[in-house]
Structure 1
C-alpha cells in the first residue's frame, strides 16, 4: 500500500514547518507528501522549496490562485495528483506524532474510511510548539482533549468502532482509499468559505456503502491554536450538506473529475 499524505495550507508557513518536520520523523514515511496550497504567498512557496532539497520522501507543492476560501478545490487537485493507493489528509497546522502514518496504515481496511482524532493545543503551548517544533508532553498545560495523547494498542482496540454517521467529522485528520475518493467525485467545490464540506463528503461516502472507522488512541494530530475562520457562508454550505443527506447523494457534480 502506497500512502499519499495530503497537507492543506494557507499562508501560515510557521505551522506548516512544524507539520513538515514531524512528517520527517515518522516511523513509517508516506510514499509521497502533497501540499495542497490554497494560494499562499511567496514566503510559503520559498519555504516549501527549501524543504524539497532534502525531504526524506517525495514532496510536491500543489498551488492554486488565492480567490477566496477554496479548500475543496485545493484538496481535489491534490487527490488528482496523488500516485498512492491510500490518502491521508491532514491540515498544515498539526504536529503529527512519530507513529501517525504507521497507525493510519494499520487502520486502513477495504470498503472503509477512517476518521482520526485531535488534541487541541491552547495559545500558550502552541507558541512553544511553533518555536521548538517539538511535541508537548502529556503533562503540559493549556491542552484540551488531553486523553487523546495516549497512544495505546489496547485502548485503541477497545474504543475504535464503526460509526456510520457524520458526527465528530474532522477534516483535519481523515483517510480513505483513492479509488473511493474518486468514486464519490472527491470534495464538492460548490462549497464556498468555511464549513460542512467535510461532513458532506462523509455523507456521500456512507451513501456509497462504505463504513466509517472512528479511530481512537492512535494517529492523533496535535492542533496548533489559531483564530477561527469566518462562518459567513455556513448557512449556504449547510443547505448543500442537507441536500446530500436528504437525497442520499453519492457523487457530487462539481468535484475531482475535472482534474483528470
Structure 2
C-alpha cells in the first residue's frame, strides 16, 4: 500500500493547528506521517503541536523547524523534502481533512499509476450552507481550475503529488522572492511542464476557512492577481478560464455574510472547524473502541 505523508506549513497558527492535526489523524486510513513545519512562529503553535504529540503517542505526527527564512515556499519545500512517503499531501494549517481523505488519496494514486498530482474540492467550514457550497465549489473547481486546455491545477489547501514527481521539480519550482505568485499554481505548471498527469477527484475533500475573504477588496484583488502573475511567469502555459474573476464576484457576498455567521456561531458556542467532520470522526472513534474490546 502506498504511504501517504501530510505536510502542514505553519506560522502563528495556534488557533487552528490542534483541530488540523485531529482531522489529519482521525482518518479511516492512518497517514504514514504528518509533518508540521514551523516557520518561526511567535505564538503558541510549537507548544500546541508538541503537546499534541505528547498526548497522542500513537499518531505519526512530527514537528520540524524551518528557521532559515520567513515564507510559505521555503517552509513548504522543507516539509516536502523531509517527507518519506510515496505520496505527499499538502494542506494549510487551518484546513480540516475529511476523515476519508487519506483513503481517497491512496486510492487515486493506486488506481491510476500515471497520476502524478491530485486535487479536490473544499467546503468552507465557517460559512453557512456547507453542502450547497461544497457542490458549487466542486462544480466550479473542476471546470475552471484548469491549465493547458483541460489539465487539472493543484490547490494548496487540498493537494497531493507523488514523491517522485516532487523530486523531479523540486529544484525548478519558482522561489517567488517578490511574493506575487500562487505557489500551488506554480507547482501545477511545473508538473505539467514535465508532461506529468494531474487529476481531479470530487471525493478528495478538505474543509477550509473563508477568512481570506474578510480582507478589504483592494487587498483581495491583489491576492487574486497572483493567478495572472503566475501564468505571466510561465508563458509556455495557457488558460481559458480565469478563477480570479469568479472570486472577485463572490467577495461581496462572503465578505458581508462571514462576520454575521461568526457572531451567530459564537452566540451558540459552536467551533466551526472542530465541528465540520464531528459525526464522521465519532464513527471512527466508535469503530476503534469496538476493536479494543
Q: Report if the CA contact (8 A) 2:20-2:94 is conserved.
A: yes
Q: Provide the residue aligned with 1:28 in structure 2.
A: 29
- Higher RCO structure, 1 or 2 (CA under 8 Å, sep 6+): 1
Say whether 1:227 aligns with 2:230. Answer: no
Report the Cα distance in structure 2 between the residues aligned to 1:24 and 1:9, rounded to whole angstroms: 17
User: Cα deviations across residues 106-148 of structure 1 (Å, max 9, x unaligned)?
Assistant: 11133321012101233xx5xxxxxxxxxxxxxxx35375344
Give unmatched runs, 5+ long, in structure 1: 126-140, 150-154, 249-260
**Structure 1 residue 22, shift from structure 2 partner:** 1.2
Determine which structure has more spread, i.e. the larger CA radius of gyration: 2
Give unmatched runs, 5+ long, in structure 2: 239-293
Q: How many pairs does the alignment contain?
A: 222
**Structure 1 residue 177, shift from structure 2 partner:** 0.5
Instruction: Name the CA shift for 1:191/1:117 in 2 (closer, same or farther; >3 Å).
Output: farther
**Structure 1 residue 35, shift from structure 2 partner:** 0.9
Say whether 1:110 aligns with 2:97. Answer: no
TM-score, length-scaled by structure 2: 0.65
Match of 2:186 among 191, 195, 200: 200
Q: Report if the CA contact (8 A) 2:142-2:152 is conserved.
A: no
Q: Provide the residue aligned with 2:5 in structure 1.
A: 4
Report the Cα distance in structure 2 between the residues aligned to 1:66 and 1:101, rounded to whole angstroms: 31
Q: Report if the CA contact (8 A) 2:119-2:204 is conserved.
A: no
Q: Secondary structure of 2:44's partner? A: helix
Q: Report if the CA contact (8 A) 2:91-2:157 is conserved.
A: yes
Instruction: Name the CA shift for 1:236/1:24 in 2 (closer, same or farther; >3 Å).
Output: closer
User: Over aligned residue pairs, what C-alpha RMSD do you find?
Assistant: 3.4
Report the Cα distance in structure 2 between the residues aligned to 1:179 and 1:82, rounded to whole angstroms: 12
1:76-95 correspondence runs (5 A): 76-95=77-96
Moved more, 36-45 or 98-107: 36-45
| Larger helix share, 1 or 2 | 2
Q: Provide the residue aligned with 2:63 in structure 1.
A: 61
Report the Cα distance in structure 1 between the residues aligned to 2:101 and 2:157, rounded to whole angstroms: 13
Q: Report if the CA contact (8 A) 2:12-2:43 is conserved.
A: no
Report the Cα distance in structure 2 between the residues aligned to 1:36 and 1:110, rounded to whole angstroms: 29
